Every structure is written in structure tokens, then in C-alpha cells.
A and B are shown apart, each in its own frame.
Chain A
Amino acid sequence: MQYSSQAVAKPYFIAAIGLFVGQILFGLILGLQYVLGDFLFPEIPFNVARMVHTNLLIVWLLFGFMGAAYYLVPEESERELESPGLAIAMFWIFLVAGALTILGYLLVPYAGLAQLTGNDLLPTMGREFLEQPTITKLGIVVVALSFLYNIGMTVLKGRKTVVSLVLLIGLTGLAVFFLFSFYNPDNLVLDKFFWWWVVHLWVEGVWELILGSILAFVLIKTTGVDREVIEKWLYIIIAMTLITGIIGTGHHYYWIGTPEYWQWWGSVFSAMEPIPFFMMTVFAFNMVNKRRREHPNKAAVLWALGTATMAFLGAGVWGFLHTLAPVNYYTHGSQITAAHGHMAFYGAYVMIVLTMISYAMPMLRGRTAANSNKSQVLEMWSFWLMTIAIVFITLFLTAAGILQVFLQRMGENPLPFMVVQEKVALFYWLREIAGLVFLIGLLTYVASFFVGNDEPEAKTAG
């Protein structure tokens, strides 16, 4: 570790992993509720479990991004972090606010939570993924602004690199687009229209910039390829991301009451959204093929290559599968969307955070560059367990989705929703089994931090 202030990344990474475990546990509860409708009812109703599952995902990824930025930026800027104390203070504020929010979801009925937190004063609650009480959202804004100040000042006062600037643009976009969560018009069309400015422009816009910059950073460090080469790739990838992703928002506007031209704009531009992900795959493998050194942290390189591949499959291929308006007319909101969501989030964002943790954590824990071989082997096992499990989760959900569309939305005698749910139950059971394998993979990942600590650090082969 080159700068002592990089150490503030460690609690962020630990919190991220802890919340990740929570997210997966609630995912398993949800999976069971699909087939055993009254499982844990009334203690944890389906809507609450779903809210906790998705909100925990968002929060732990944000912890991961922040930790990644706190580790990456001092090294790129060649100076200490502007204010390590502020970073630690914001960590605790964010963690406590997040924990209280989750406890609120679990312990108080949602309508009561809205009343308790004064939602009437500035109504922002009740929308998918943005269910947080208004006061929590205000807390997120405070944390995001403090974080941006800390990172921004470090970048501006230090060496400016393409990696740190792209990261800063991505993080600024993340904060700016979150502000649309406070805009909650009565008109449902307008509400949905701008709701996507948070949700879509995060995951198919500015988050991709964060992903690209973290991937570029890890590849520079692990391959030794010239920074200029990697930066050129990064420029092209983020350009394609923004060109396709911004107008690609239109693929959410097909059926919400917006003008019909969005069916063309949305279809054409979102059909091109796999391009930056494809380029990322070629980029990552090309850099590793051209590497000038063998980095001893094999696990981090594996995560980086896995990110590039799985992001292309999950976000690119599975997104394309249902993005064209004539196809989406039938598939909209079916289990095909869930399949895409699971693989895209895992491939693009879960894996990039785990890539960064894998790269940085050994140094944060006092190693020179990498964990012991024993620890890395276990980590690589967890990589394969989680990745194979998510592939099967995606395939089972896709199968359920195709059957759902066929039985419920096509043909002369479409079946009712709940009748179809019973007919696709087999796939839900299979998904649950795959989910259990994912949990085993995640526990293996956690175990990798506690194994082989007394053994010597892995050395470069050859």
C-alpha cells in the first residue's frame, strides 16, 4: 500500500461483504416464497423481503464503489486522501443509516415507516428500488457529497489520470442522478419517466464508467501494460457506453405512456448497448495476453477477466434478448427481466467490486501484493461456485420467463398469472437450488479471508 490513507477502504470493503451476505440470505427467502407463498409470513412478507434484497444490493455496491475509490484515487493521484477522517465518519453514518433503514423495513409496516419518517413533508417513498425513507435519501445525499468532495479534492490537487477522471465523472453522475429520486410528480407517466433517470442512468450509464475505471486500474496494476494503451481502450469504451446508454433509456419508455417514437429510439440505441461490454471483454483479455509480468495475485486477475465476460453475457446478451420493442411487448416485466437483472448485476457490478477487493485487500491486510496460495485457491473456488450458480439461476429464470410469456401472453387462451406461476414452479425450485450453491460460494469467499493467513505470500510463477 503506497499511501496510508488508502486504509480507509478496508471498513468499506468489510461492510460491503457483510451486506452482500445479507442480500443473498434474503434472496434465498424470496426464492422460497415464490414456491411456498406463506414462508415466513407474516414476519417477512414477500414485498418486504424483495425490498431488503434489492436495497441491500444497492447499498453494498455503493459501499464497494466508495471503498474502491478510496483505495484507487490516492494511488492514481499520487497523494494522500484529502480527508481520511471524513471518509471514516461518512462510513459510520452510511452504515448506521443503512442498518436503521433495513430494520425499519423489517420491523415497521411500510405505510407506518412512511408516517414515522415524515414522508408527507417530501414524499419520495413507495417506488421500486427507491423505497428508502426520505430522511435516508437525504442522508445518502450528504454521504455522497462528502464522498465526492473527498475524492474530487484528492484528484484535483494530485496527478490527473484518465482512470481517476473517468471514475470521478462516474461518481459525480451517480450523485447527480440520485437527485431525481426526490422528484415525485403526481403524473404517473412523468413519475416513471424520471424514475428511470435514477435507475437506468445509474446501471446502464454512469455505473459503467465506474466499472470501466476500476477494471482499467486493476489491469494496469496486474498486467504492467502501458497506461496509455489501457487509457485509449477506456476512452472508447466509455464513449460507446454513453452513446448507447443515454438514449437507450428509451427501452423503458415503450409502454408507460410516452410517445411512440421511443420504441424506435429505445430499440436502436439499446440494441447497441452490448457493444461497450463486448469491447470490455476483448480489452480485458487483450491486456492480460499482452501482460509484461506475472502478478502473484491470480485471484484478482481471474475476477477481472470474469467481470469482463459475465458483464457481456448478463448485461449485453441477456439485455439484448428482450430489448427490442416488438419482443419487449411480450416479455416486459416477466421472469426474463429477472434473469437479465441477476446476471447483469452479478457480472458487471458484483464482480467488479469483488475484483477490487481481491486486488486491494491483501495490501490492506499487510501483504506486499497477494494472499497465500491456499487463500487464493479458496477464493478462486468461490469465484467458480458463484459464477456457475448465477449462470444456472439465469438459465432457470429465463426458462420460467419464456414459459410465462408463452402461456400468459401469447395464444388465443392466455392463462391467468397465478395459474402460470404454478406451472413454472419447477424452474423456481431449480433456481432456489442454484441459489443455495451461490450461498456456498459466497461463504467460501468469506472463508478465504480467514484461511492461509499464517502462510507465506504467493510468489510470481516463472
Chain B
Amino acid sequence: MQPSDEGRAVPGAAIAVVAEILYLANLLIAPGFAFALLLLLFLHRRRDVPPLARSHLEQTLSASLWAGLLLILVASLILVLGGMHGAHTWVILILYFTLCHSTLVVFGAYGLAKAMAGQCWRYPLVGRPLARGCREIRWQ
């Protein structure tokens, strides 16, 4: 199928969009639960979906795992090492968390825009190499 405009979708675009929405939901409104759904989707569908969907599933899962590491583990580490009562702990923690979290959300917004346009996209720093066959998908 040659996509050129609205109403004609690239194969796998729907799953790609769902993957990006679950990634964002995990960061914004349903942490943990949305990740579980994303993991289930990844485990059940990654082998039988078109390259576009596979790519977005891989990217969002990888980014979600990084998000868990960066937002839970590193933040906890800052708190434990700095101590609850240190003023500078809170300066560093709040700045770190806000910056890190909002950057990951913006990545998700870009990812969602790419999925809606039927394009692959690699998350900067926290994404995986693009799935095979991804680079051939382009809007005309």
C-alpha cells in the first residue's frame, strides 16, 4: 500500500499508535498498569506485526524500561544518598525528575506523532536500533 494522505494507513500504524499511547500513559496517568499492557502487547504481537508496529513496540518498551531506571532507581538513589532533610537533595531531585520525566514525555509525543504519520522513529538515547524494513516506510 502506498500511503499519501489521511484515510490510508501504513500497515501496523494502529499498533504503533497504541504502543506510543501506552508508553505515554505509563509516564503520565497509569504507571505500571500501562507498562504491563505494553509488555503484553510486545510479547504477544512482536513477531506477527509489520515492521512499523514492531519498531514502535521495541522503541517504547526500551524507553519504558529506561524510564523506570531513570525515574525510580536513580531518583531513589539521589534521595538515599542525599538524605531526606538535605535542601540540596530536593533541589537536585526535583530538577532531575522534572527534566528527565518531561524529556521522556516529549520523546513520547514525537513518537506518537511519528506513529500517527506511519513512520518509524528511534528514541534518542533510550531507544533501540530501528527494526529491519523500517527505513523503507515513507510518506509520499
Interface residues of A (CB under 8 A from B): 226, 229, 278, 281-286, 289-292, 309, 312-313, 317-318, 321, 395, 398-399, 402-403, 406-407
Contact = CB atoms under 8 A, between A and B. Distances in A.
B87 A407 contact: yes
B114 A229 contact: no
A448 B102 CA distance: 32
B117 A286 contact: yes
Of the candidates A292, A312, A317, A403, the one having the most CB atoms from chain B within 10 angstroms of its own CB is: A317
Given A402-B90, A402-B91, A403-B87, A286 B5 contact: no
Contact of A395 (B90, B99, B110, B113): B99
Contact of B116 (A286, A318, A321, A402): A286
B109 interface: yes
Contacts of A278: 105, 109
B67 to A, nearest CB: 15
Contacts of A407: 87
B6 A317 contact: no
Given A282-B109, A289-B114, A398-B98, A406 B5 contact: no
A412 to B, nearest CB: 11
Q: Could you tell me the dominant secondary structure of chain B's interface residues?
A: helix
Given A313-B102, A317-B98, A402-B90, A282 B5 contact: no
Given A226-B5, A282-B112, A406-B90, A290 B95 contact: no
B106 to A, nearest CB: 6
Contacts of B139: 289-291
Nearest to B20: A282
B87 A395 contact: no
Nearest to B88: A403
B55 interface: no
A278 B119 CA distance: 20
Contacts of A402: 90-91, 94-95
A40 to B, nearest CB: 30
Interface string B120-140: 000000000000000000010
Given A282-B116, A285-B109, A289-B117, A403 B102 contact: no
Contacts of A403: 87-88, 91
Contacts of A282: 109, 112-113, 116
B136 to A, nearest CB: 16
Nearest to B106: A309
B137 to A, nearest CB: 12
Given A281-B109, A289-B119, A395-B99, 14 more contacts: A278-B105, A281-B110, A282-B112, A284-B113, A285-B109, A285-B113, A286-B117, A289-B114, A290-B5, A292-B5, A321-B98, A399-B91, A402-B90, A402-B95
Interface string B79-103: 0000000011011001100110010
Nearest to A286: B113
B116 to A, nearest CB: 5
Nearest to B86: A406
24 contacts: A229-B6, A281-B113, A282-B112, A282-B116, A285-B109, A285-B110, A286-B113, A286-B116, A286-B117, A289-B116, A290-B5, A309-B106, A312-B109, A313-B106, A321-B98, A395-B99, A398-B94, A398-B98, A402-B91, A402-B95, A403-B88, A403-B91, A406-B90, A407-B87
